[in-house]
């Protein structure tokens, strides 16, 4: 049955009809005075309490691989984020928020909705977290890359390092995402959306930090973040690959 659901959903996506699927119900987000960024309720708290099964999660991930790739590498153009190695807490929160209508993502919603229960949410998250982080991902490629990365490093170490860590490892217990190995264009898009109030499930503390940043500063921070790697979490070079 699961295979049939996957095949049907992939067919819908291939026809470009994912946007036409029933949208997620809207739930008040950061714009509401009653918004609690990390409220653990409903299926979210149930999934967080469960032990994910990576074997079952691999099957559930098949539908995700159509966009995020089987490796979890995502797309360098920023349309789909790199997922491999992401904390289960972050994955569960984001998928549950999309399913609940707290985070707007009409492209992903029809696929996130195919996860049948909190256990499957925990399973697919456990599988994704166990994937090694690809070393080749979308980075800032401008002629001024060295300058941008240097300026971004200074900004990152001043206000981002405390939460996201020296190597972009995030914090699993506090739901701060891994950003090491993430695509530059995706990072820039998300930070811009958070700054401009379009990410309804954003962390209010991050909004306060990022609100004063100019577009140029966000470019620099994203360029630096995209250069980060996590020791011990990155994929090993393929056999026979030429050293650079």
Q: Does any domain span residue 231?
A: no
Q: Say if 233 falls within a structural domain.
A: no
What total number of domains does the chain contain?
2
Residues 21 and 117 in one domain: yes
Residue 139 falls inside a structural domain = no
Q: At what angle do helices 2-14 and 54-68 cross, to 10 degrees?
A: 10
User: Which residue in 96, 88, 90 sits closest to 43, CA to CA?
Assistant: 96
Range of the domain at 100: 2-130
Residues 29 and 104 in one domain: yes
- CATH number, domain of 112, equals 1.10.760.10
Per-residue pLDDT of the chain (244 residues; tens, 9 = 90+): 444 444 444 433 433 434 445 666 788 888 888 888 888 778 899 999 999 999 999 999 999 999 999 999 999 999 999 999 999 999 999 999 999 889 999 899 998 888 889 999 999 999 999 999 999 999 999 999 999 999 999 999 999 999 999 999 999 999 999 999 999 999 999 999 999 999 999 999 999 999 999 999 999 999 999 999 999 999 997 765 554 4
Residues 124 and 51 in one domain: yes
Q: Are 132 and 49 in contact (CB under 8 A)?
A: no
Claim to verify: residue 125 and residue 174 sit in the same structural domain: no
């Amino acid at each position: 049955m699961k295979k049939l659901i996957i095949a049907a959903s992939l067919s819908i996506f291939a026809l470009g009809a994912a946007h036409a699927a029933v949208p997620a119900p809207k739930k008040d987000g950061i714009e509401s005075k009653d918004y609690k960024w990390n409220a653990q309720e409903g299926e979210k708290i149930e999934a967080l309490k469960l032990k994910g099964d990576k074997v079952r999660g691999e099957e559930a991930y098949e539908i995700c691989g159509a966009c995020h790739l089987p490796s979890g590498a995502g797309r360098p153009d920023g349309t789909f984020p790199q997922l491999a190695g992401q904390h289960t807490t972050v994955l569960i929160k984001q998928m549950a928020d999309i399913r609940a209508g707290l985070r707007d993502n009409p492209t992903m919603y029809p696929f996130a909705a195919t996860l049948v229960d909190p256990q499957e949410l925990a399973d697919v998250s456990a599988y994704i977290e166990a994937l090694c982080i690809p070393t080749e991902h979308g980075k800032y490629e401008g002629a001024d890359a060295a300058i941008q990365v240097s300026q971004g490093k200074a900004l990152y170490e001043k206000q981002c390092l405390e939460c996201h860590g020296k190597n972009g490892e995030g914090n699993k217990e506090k739901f701060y995402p891994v950003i090491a190995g993430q695509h530059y264009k995706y990072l820039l898009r998300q930070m811009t959306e958070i700054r401009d109030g379009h990410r309804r499930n954003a962390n209010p503390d991050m909004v306060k930090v990022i609100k004063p940043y100019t577009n140029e500063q966000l470019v620099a921070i994203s360029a630096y973040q995209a250069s980060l790697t996590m020791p011990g979490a990155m994929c090993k070079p393929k056999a026979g690959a030429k050293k650079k």
